[in-house]
Amino acid sequence: MRKLGFILFIVLTYCFQAEAQISGSDELGVGLRFQKTEQLYWENGVGLDYTSDLLLYKHIHLKMSYATSRIGSAMIGNALKQDNYLIGADWRFRPQKDFQIFAGLNTGFFHADMESSAFDVLPHNSMLFSLETGLFYKFKFIPMATNLSVGYNLINGDGVSKPGTLFPVYYQLSVFYYIGKK
């Protein structure tokens, strides 16, 4: 839990410093991510979304996120503690509109904390590679946006060579606050 607090501190510190550095064409969103793996855990966390006119006139969005069952299913139940660290890029259709459709690729790292030495023979870590698509909406009256998406992990867990709790399909809802936007 201390590691999560440290990561959150670093992200928030960066965001408050970045507010003064964001130019008119840049958009930096900081937000919360709520993720549900199909037939498994809730994994919640934080995320960043960045775009600029330099990225094909805001058609490309770069993103980073951290989602964990530690502040999801494992917090209220006996679920395994697992962490997802992702970076990715989305292509936004109609970037000038408030309502957008997007498709993207993500890559990253997955770790499952088995918490017992009896499970040391099982795999705990895996690379992540996923496809994602969804809907994005920018509010007109406040500098916030939300997205709703579905993703598919191309690297799935089998319990032998990759962690068994790495399921293919996930759904997510993200809410972003855009720094420096009026």
Domain 29-179 has CATH 2.40.160.20: yes
Residue 37: Cβ-neighbour burial (10 angstroms; 0-12, 13-18, 19+): buried
Cα angle 156, 11, 69; round to 5: 35
What beta strand segments (E) does the chain contain? Answer: 27-37, 42-51, 60-68, 81-93, 99-113, 125-138, 144-153, 169-179
Per-residue pLDDT, 4? 54
Q: Where are the domains of the chain?
A: 29-179
**Tens digit of pLDDT for each residue in 86-133?**
999 999 999 999 999 999 999 999 998 887 777 777 888 999 999 999
